[in-house]
Amino acid sequence: MRVPTTIALAALLATAARGNAEPQTRPVTTAPVATAPAVEPLPRADVLILPLHAHVLSAPGRPDIDCALADADLARVLGKVNRVWRPAGVQFAVTVRREPAADVARFDRLWAAAGPGALGAYRSLAPPATRDLPGVHVYYVHDLPVNGVYLGTRVCFVKETAALRPVEGGIDEPVPRVTAHEVGHALGLPHRQARTNLMASGTTGTAFNEAEVKAARARAKATEGAMTVPEAERAADAAEKAGDAARVASLREALAGAGEPP
């Protein structure tokens, strides 16, 4: 099936320039900003634990959507996302969900219409049954016109083929950085075009400043499903008693990530 037209792509890129989407080749046009000192990592007791649902979308016959990330890839990528977010005192209790893309026909209709905001068409691919679970949602697809996009209401899309411009001290792999960046939007952070920070467009930077830490933590705390460390410990114990091994593993990994910073 044919997907985007040239006209659609032009409209999308125009939208991307205004919104939170990241054209992967977008030049940094702002003047270089002095690298802010790294924030002091918060102590374990202050870490907030937030559910993160990683939806790996499958779509037979649609190589543009069908995501090939393996379990080992997801474990590596999401482990890196947690390491990026540890200085901000936020850790994610990750659940990986392998799901068929929901409404590809609707996606194609919206995509063909290609009005402003057409990246919103991707929302059609989110399976309704898991869409409203508490926490942040990241949908992985093969390709997008941008590296990733935050669509609002805690919904991010990230392409497995993301590419970034390396900066000093940056992360060694694009997909974790794009994921961590889009999650930053989900936690209320706007772009900030300092080269080495997480909220710069299209670079491998992962740094936060104090204002970003404060804002993201406030949003995380107000998000349904957020837990303090003691609450997450109690939830893990309860899940163990209930025999929910997957939830135990997800919470324990987030708690391990919350461990005292070196």
Query: What count of other Cβ atoms lies within 10 Å of the Cβ of residue 132?
Result: 11
147 part of the interface to Zn ion, by CB under 5 A: no
Rounded least distance, CB 53 to Zn ion, Å: 20
Is there binding between residue 197 and Zn ion (CB under 5 A)?
no
| 246 and 95 Cβ atoms separated by less than 8 Å | yes
Taking CB atoms, the residue at the shortest distance from Zn ion is 20
Per the DSSP assignment, residues forming a β-bridge with 92 are: 50
Can residue 206 be called a binding residue for Zn ion (CB under 5 A)? Answer: no
Stretch that binds Zn ion, among 15-23, 213-221, 224-232, 242-250 (CB under 5 A): 15-23
204 makes contact with Zn ion (CB under 5 A): no
Name which of 137 and 247 has its Cβ closer to Zn ion: 137
Three-class secondary structure of residue 60 per DSSP: coil
The Cα–Cα gap between 249 and 211 comes to: 32
Our finding on whether 15 is near Zn ion (CB under 5 A) is no
Separation CA 36–CA 34 (nearest Å): 6
Please return the burial class of 191, using the count of CB atoms within 10 Å of its CB with bins 0-12, 13-18 and 19+. middle
Which of 20, 179, 223, 250 is close enough to bind Zn ion by CB under 5 A? 20
Binding part of the chain for Zn ion, among 13-21, 27-35, 50-58, 72-80 by CB under 5 A, reads: 13-21
Q: Binding segment for Zn ion among 19-27, 79-87, 128-136, 239-247 (CB under 5 A)?
A: 19-27
Q: What angle do CA 145, 12, 124 make, to 5 degrees?
A: 75
Residues of the shown chain interacting with Zn ion in the complex, contacts defined by CB under 5 A: 20, 22
